[in-house]
Chain A
Amino acid sequence: MNGYQGKLLIADLTKGMLTDEPLNEKYARDFIGSTSLAARYLFDMIDEKTDPLGPDNPLILMPGLLNGTSGPSVSRWGGVTKSPYTGYYGDANASAWFGAQLKNAGYDGIILKGKSAKPVYLYIKDGIAELKDASHLWGKDTYKTQEEIKKEYGDNRIQVACIGPASENLVLCGNIVSEYGHCLGRAGLGCVTGSKKVKAIAVRGKMKLPMHDPERFREATRLAMTEVKEGFLSMIMHETGTAGWVDGAISYGDGPTKYYTAATLPEATKISGATQVEQYQTDSTACYSCPIRCRKILQIKEGKYLYDRVEGPEYETLIAWGAMMGLDVDMSTAVYFNEVCNAYGFDTISSGASAGYAFYLYDLGVLTEKDTGGLKLTWGNIDAAIELVHQIGKNQGFGAILAGGTKRMAQRYGRPIGEAVQTKGLEFPMHDPRAFHSMGLVYATAARGADHNKSDGYNIDGGTGHPDLAFTITDRWADDKAEMVEKSQNWRAVCDSIGICHWAIIPVSMITDMINASTGWNMDLDQLLKTGERAFQLQRALSCKLGITAKDDVLPEFAMRPIREGGTEGHVPNMEKMLPEYYALRDWDSLTGKPSKKRLESLGMPEIAASIGAK
């Protein structure tokens, strides 16, 4: 099977058995790879009754189609499971090097099933997999775990995806960390890993990938590589990374501040990508096969926490563990937050938002020091925020309540559910829909809950959408976003399936060339977008299978309150207009939220339509 290694690794952790299973060729053709393909497998394996932390809930990790090849910026891989954080469909994507090594190690994916009685880790090299004892690793943070496994084999090129103490302690937003701080960050995939007593998955390999037309593939990747190297967006991302948006977020009001009640904190400029370049950056580094090199290496010589060589935090973490709580942090503290969250291994977005909600409730007087274990959660109290990071990581004290997220917090403290800024149980990322109305639609409709990776509406409204997709760009506060969001969601599903980074703008003809030369298929843009739609609708159908209906596609009232000051200028998205338009485009039922039978069948998924009772 060209373009694939042709097999999956099935790890039955209850029995301690590892078996190879041929890759389902139809699934691969229909869904390509990563979270899209993994979701197709997951659909058949879970239902409403599946306990997310029970042995019947699988965790499926898959590389993107082009991971491990010479294509440019083809590093993204993903995982899916039934989320213990939300109780619904959960997925997450990451970059770095794990996906490429997994594919080169001979597998198109790993399905973890059952539960081990004792801590184990999985070691895969060149098509051979072993389950190893991980007692000596249990309790160690994600950095030490990666180092120790590499040391055990004397091979620094082994890639390790692991959990930290947070997921061992079943912190619901626990994540999976690879390449030091590159995470399958959201929806609690790490917590599921911890429940199975799997500490890590280590991969290494040099196995040849069967190619339909190697010569054509080489030429296609050469051209695409040049395109990325010379790309304008590439160079902006190289210069300031995702943190470069901090200054833009301040201007646009895009960075939630004081739990969605204030204009974006202007002091955040001191930790922006531009400031990092000017004052702290000593080097940059890259994910697999990526010429952009947007990852910044910093040296922190001043402040409470000193680092000689440390990777800079990304935009999301800088705001979530900063402005969200009104924290005026310096670079030293911003790096510390990032490092500690990554070492424990939990989602910085959800945890930061939950901590922000706690600060808000404290400010209201709903929470007192009696509730917080003595912590004074006054806006801007950095020491209190640092204490919360440790409590969340250990699943202890007041932090254990925050670890469950804003929805559970609102329920616990008898607050209106609309105060919890989440959809389907997952907190909003750090792009405020009041700054870019398209993001309201994106958060309302993404399968896993609020998810900025399922559409880059904020980028497209800013003018950086893929030029070949001919997006209609309107004002960031316009409410005619349904068509753009639908198309961009489909395109993002394609990029995730292939494993191409969102920052690499490659002409579609070159992308199809790489896919076709690799697999022998005959894809064009229309077919790619249809494949993207198939993946998006499948994930939606799975959400519906797990209990999601149209009433879950709403934005919380709290994030719909206008803020007159700052960059949002009092605007709020008109969801009453946008959502029905979007539903019509997707052909979703206005009550059940299910995709129509006709639409699912037109995408080649009659069995999915039958399974969810689509009409």
Chain B
Amino acid sequence: MAKININFIGPLKVFLGAQTVNVDVNNIDEARNYVETHYGPTYEKKLKSMGVKAKQSIWDNSVFLLNGKNIRQLDRPVLKDGDKLDLMLLVAGG
């Protein structure tokens, strides 16, 4: 079990009303479950209120940095205490 910080960056921070959460997880799949279970409903409600009809997953629409390093959706990094997982939505500025 690793104690990690999950950071919601940029628009996600605004959508979820949270910047950082500390969680105990065994692996990246548990981190995903935690995010979707605890923040999925808030996310869905927010998007619905803005007119988005199709259901959206936070995780599937995010890109990730683990301790500042790029990781991809399918990567399975081993998590350890103090790790910092940044989630950002897939969007860039003009």
Interface residues of A (CB under 8 A from B): 229-233, 235-249, 251-252, 254, 272-274, 277-278, 314-316, 431, 452-453, 456, 458-459, 462-464, 475-477, 502-503, 566-567, 569
Contacts and interface: CB of A to CB of B under 8 A. Distances in A.
B79 interface: no
Contacts of B70: 252, 475-477, 567, 569
A251 B86 contact: yes
Contacts of A476: 70
A458 B13 contact: no
Contacts of B51: 229-230, 235
B77 interface: no
Contacts of A463: 61, 63, 90
Contact of B93 (A229, A242, A277, A278): A242
A320 to B, nearest CB: 12
A238 B61 CA distance: 17
Contacts of B56: 232
Contacts of A246: 10, 93
B15 A239 contact: yes
Interface string B51-85: 11110100001010100111010000000000000
B12 to A, nearest CB: 8
Interface residues of B, number: 28
B91 A464 contact: yes
Nearest to A319: B93
B93 to A, nearest CB: 3
A239 B50 contact: yes
B14 interface: yes
Contacts of A456: 92
B47 A273 contact: no
A232 B61 contact: yes
Given A245-B91, A274-B14, A464-B90, A251 B54 contact: no
Nearest to B53: A230
Nearest to B88: A248
Contact of A431 (B9, B11, B91, B92): B92
B17 to A, nearest CB: 10
Nearest to A318: B93
A464 B92 contact: yes
Nearest to A430: B93
Contacts, number: 107
Contacts of A315: 93-94
Which of A236, A240, A452 has the most chain B CB atoms closer than 10 A to its own CB? A236
A241 B92 CA distance: 10
A62 to B, nearest CB: 21
B82 to A, nearest CB: 18
B89 interface: yes
B91 A236 contact: yes
A493 to B, nearest CB: 16
A567 B65 contact: yes
A232 B12 CA distance: 13
A535 to B, nearest CB: 20
B91 A459 contact: yes
B50 A247 contact: no
Contacts of A569: 68-70
8 contacts: A230-B52, A230-B53, A232-B52, A235-B50, A239-B15, A254-B92, A314-B93, A569-B70
Nearest to A571: B70
Given A241-B93, A244-B10, 15 more contacts: A230-B51, A237-B91, A242-B94, A248-B92, A251-B88, A272-B10, A274-B10, A315-B93, A315-B94, A316-B93, A452-B94, A458-B92, A462-B92, A464-B92, A475-B72
Contact of B94 (A240, A254, A502): A502
Contacts of B15: 239
A252 to B, nearest CB: 8
Contacts of B94: 242, 314-316, 452-453, 502-503
A502 B9 CA distance: 23
- In this complex, the member of B65, B91, B93 whose beta carbon has the largest number of chain A beta carbons within 10 angstroms is B93
Nearest to A242: B93
A475 B47 CA distance: 28
A575 B53 CA distance: 42
Interface in B1-34: 9-11, 13-15
A225 to B, nearest CB: 11
A238 B89 CA distance: 14
Nearest to B86: A251
Contact of B54 (A232, A252, A502, A503): A232
Contacts of A453: 94
Contact of A567 (B10, B11, B68): B68
Nearest to A231: B52
Contacts of A230: 51-54
B52 A248 contact: no
Contact of B10 (A229, A235, A240, A502): A240
Nearest to A235: B50
B90 A462 contact: yes
B9 A248 contact: yes
Given A232-B61, A248-B88, A567-B68, A274 B11 contact: yes
A248 to B, nearest CB: 5
A245 B93 contact: yes
B65 A251 contact: yes
Contacts of B50: 235, 238-239
A247 B88 contact: yes
B72 A245 contact: no
Contacts of A458: 92
Contacts of A252: 65, 70
